Amino acid sequence: QVQLVESGGGLVQAGGSLRLSCAASGLTFSSIAVGWFRQAPGKEREWVAVMSKSGTSTLYRNSVKGRFTISRDNAKNTVLLQMNSLQPEDTAVYYCAADRTGVVATGPSAYDYWGQGTQVTVSS
C-alpha cells in the first residue's frame, strides 16, 4: 500500500519560512518523480515544484522561483520543500505527489499517488 504523508505546514508571517516534508512508503522511491502541488480555496490545484527520480531535473513555478527549493533523499524515502520569503498568496493546502514514470511532469493527472495535504497559512 502506497502512502505519502506530508508534514511541516502551519501558520507563519509574511517573509517567514517553512519546510514541508513528505514521507513515502510502499513504493520504490528512487524510481519515482515527485512533485509538490498546492490548492487555495476556490482555486484549482497547481504545481509548485517537481523533481525527476534522479533529482537531476527540477522545475519550479515562476511565482516560487528563488524562494522555494525541492529536494529528495532517496535513502530516507523523503522529499522536502523549503519555502522562504513566504507571502500571503502562498497560502494553500500543499500536497506531495508521486509519478511512477520517473520523469518531471507538471500536470496533476500525471501523478499516480497523493498525500493528504498540509495547510500552509501566511499572514500579512
Please report which confidence band the pLDDT of residue 9 belongs to, taking 50, 70 and 90 as the band edges. Answer: very high
pLDDT digits (tens, 9 = 90+) for 25-66: 999 999 999 999 999 999 999 999 999 999 999 999 999 999
pLDDT digits (tens, 9 = 90+) for 88-108: 999 999 999 999 999 999 999
pLDDT value, residue 26: 95
> In whole angstroms, what is the distance from residue 48 CA to residue 102 CA?
17
- The answer to whether residues 94 and 37 touch, using CB atoms and an 8 Å cutoff, is yes
Tally of residues, the chain: 124
pLDDT value, residue 98: 97
